[in-house]
Structure 1
């Protein structure tokens, strides 16, 4: 049963008269609360698969109480959160972190490219220049992240060389990544 169902049951329970029906609703509320708490505990205890899940955990643990403070948590309850933060913040890029960084950089590039094209389509020269600067910054960020897979490498190659573009500032990096994907040592 979903939390929203439990909330509706709780609301119904508050207005129900005493009797057999109220007992059944009360039992359903308690069962729902236990089920919901178990699901939350399981989610909080498992490693976050991506930054969105880590953000959810942080929001859960740091929710501001009505008194203006956050709740106090046992060390064993928040240890998985600290483990996630350490994993995502590590200097070594884990596959999960690399995928997240890549997806963010790629999306930033795509938005900048689309903005640049849209401004150019309506002859907004100043807008097109702003978007071009954003695209250049997005390209630099994108190229700095190791390609997590061959598809990402192909995308980077097309950014650097597609459409007859001759950007040679990334050639050495592209060559090194190509060798990694080809599993060739030079």
Structure 2
């Protein structure tokens, strides 16, 4: 009997604790950065319609999703939203007002999914640096509408196996700039009012 209980205890010790992801609803005026910092991997943070003043940083593998009319606005200095964790999803947000040499969304985590966002009044729309296998799809991205120097819609730097598909890119220097990033798929994007549609440097793209 003692052997049976010992085996049962050992088995239970081996089984990891079950962790259930939470859905966290946020309204305008709440401390969004504190809520992001408190979230556990797998949690989904849903932003209600309203304006959320950044910048914000995501350091865990979460989903950040906006209802229609949810907008993240920067200060006009630096990035608006930065992702440093792996396996993050950012979806359905309006993102505006980066610094003059910065991105609306800056990505440094692997396998990050940027989907269905509207990004404008920024230098670069989405900038991915030294990250593996990002997916950037179905976003609408534009740079400044005035005469300021414009950046890139999607900028990949040393980020192999990226998928860039189905994005609408306008009012930019280059629609998609792929630099030192191999085995990237760039397909089905609509690009207008840009110097180059897709610009590559030391990269393999199809």
Structure exhibiting the larger radius of gyration computed from Cα positions? 1
* Structure possessing the higher relative contact order (Cα contacts under 8 Å, 6 or more residues apart): 1
The structure that is strand-richer by fraction is 2
